Chain A
Amino acid sequence: MAQILSPLPGTFYRSASPDQPPYKADGDAVSAGDVIGLIEVMKSFHEVKAESAGTNIRFLADNEDPVMAGAPLADLD
């Protein structure tokens, strides 16, 4: 199992905008390089990408959660 960590401190978002569906749902398969969420830091947005592939993603951080750099965002099998 791998963990996807937040590369930056900020606010975590699971979708590109409030009216869009989440990038990934719990249980989704993930390819390396897939965007799994956004971190907003000081009003600029940074994509969070999976570094490796997995068959089952489970989010640990909720949409709009404040996170620190290195905080676990999701588990990935």
Chain B
Amino acid sequence: MLKKLLVANRGEIAVRIIRAAQDLGIATVAVFSAADAESLHVQIADEAVNIGPPAAKKSYLNIDAILQAAKDTGCDSVHPGYGFLAENAAFSDAVTTAGLVFVGPSGDAIRLMGDKVSARTAAASAGVPVVPGSAGRVEGIEAGRDVLTETGFPVMIKAAAGGGGRGIRIANSLAEFEQAFPQAQAEALAAFGDGGLYMEKVIGKARHIEVQVLADGSDAIHCYERECSLQRRRQKVWEEAPSRALSDALREELCASAVALAKAVNYSGAGTVEYLYDDEADRFYFIEMNTRIQVEHPVTEAVTGIDLVAEMLRIAGGEKLRLEQSDISVKGHAIEVRLNAEDPARDFAPFPGKVEDLRIPGGPGVRFDSMLYPGYQVPPFYDSLLAKLIVHAETREAAILRLTRALNELTIGGLKTTKPLFLGLAADASVQAGDVHTRWLEGWLTENAAALAD
């Protein structure tokens, strides 16, 4: 078991990790920038070290300062949280080289999954479905016609040398394909001096579904899936478990594929395998693997009863997985919403400031992960996440009712937050029916701008 842990992060996730460590009897060291001296994570840790000025580059991203703090305080381990250095392979390597335990995967595993091409290749060779398309360049229209049996229509024809959306054509039928392919070839040659093309299936309306895995370097298990289709500018705002869209058979297949990938790369710690799920085709495709604890991990904790951060610490301490796959089951439904310091009435403009009146919701099935306290000054230098409200109930319908009840209890005085967004979403018929996809929220926000401005 680890003895003394440095938490290389700030905000709610630093608080979350410190709590998990203290629950296991592990001593904790917080690090903080000059802007975070009054932060909750500094107050609840056993010790705290100032690692530099407010700019993240000079503090939370400063590997030397963090390693020095770990050395000076006698830590044996470092937890990176999410963001900052969490998926920085060089940091994982540096922690290990300094003789400390990195609570997460090896630098090599982070590198493998951090590169889109190597991750796609690893997934495909572990038998995980990837977005259908050509394996590499398509040499000529005849080879292109063969790829169509994989992709179907619509299909995207892309210039191999292209980028930034240039040199892309979409064909909806064989006739369009026959016309578009030579045009794309000529265009690619003219624009990039290289007529090489590749092809990929167009996935229109898709859900974002991800699988939580836990692994100890040799064995791996899954803790089922989360659905995070409600996104604004590719940022998740509302996450839930389980996904209502999956059949039980497909859920088992999806989760098994995530475990296969984790095993194939000898993964260690907590990780998340992300997929697009195409409702119409009833198929899923690998997007990427995140080699860290994720913001939305509490929804999985709510439905499985597993403390994921505690499991990460146990695995990093050298224990084998304590749970077998058959020990894990899903009970009820959980939803998390991200309360950000943003003003939904003004296009989500950031709103740092001082917390005045603070009323935190409670009662059965309500969890509130946050670094807020009355009088806390939210600094402008970091991301806008203030709190995560997680509700758990027997059914999805009951969870949505509980979410509305808890949001109505919540007051974060002095700041503008995304609370009105979630009250609006919880009352929306499409959200209640679970009839959403990853681009649904952008349209909803346009239609409901006036209501959010009230």
Contact = CB atoms under 8 A, between A and B. Distances in A.
Interface of A: 8-11, 40-44, 64, 66
B381 interface: yes
Given A9-B352, A66-B35, A43 B54 contact: no
9 contacts: A9-B352, A11-B55, A41-B350, A42-B382, A43-B382, A43-B383, A43-B384, A66-B54, A66-B55
Closest 4 A-B residue pairs measured CB to CB? Answer: A42-B350, A9-B380, A42-B384, A10-B380
Number of contact residues on B: which range applies?
Answer: 10 to 19
Contacts of B381: 10-11, 40, 42, 66
Which of A41, A42, A43, A66 gathers most chain B CB within 10 Å? A42
Contacts of A64: 55
B383 A42 contact: yes
Contacts of B215: none
B53 interface: yes
A10 B350 CA distance: 10
Interface in B344-398: 349-350, 352, 379-384
Q: In terms of DSSP, what is the predominant structure of the interface of chain B?
A: loop
Contacts, number: 37
Which of B35, B55, B350, B384 gathers most chain A CB within 10 Å? B350
Contact of B53 (A9, A10, A42, A66): A66
A42 B379 CA distance: 8
A42 B55 contact: no
Contacts of B382: 42-43
A62 B125 CA distance: 51
Contacts of A42: 341-342, 350, 352, 380-384
A39 B30 CA distance: 28
B352 A41 contact: yes
A43 B342 CA distance: 12
Given A10-B381, A42-B383, A44-B349, 17 more contacts: A10-B380, A11-B54, A11-B55, A41-B350, A41-B352, A41-B380, A42-B342, A42-B380, A42-B381, A42-B382, A43-B350, A43-B382, A43-B383, A43-B384, A66-B35, A66-B53, A66-B54
A11 B116 CA distance: 32
Contacts of A8: 350, 380
Contacts of A44: 349-350
A17 B382 CA distance: 18
Contacts of A66: 35, 53-55, 381
A43 B341 CA distance: 12
Nearest to B385: A42
B54 to A, nearest CB: 4
Nearest to B340: A42
Interface string B42-71: 000000000001110000000000000000
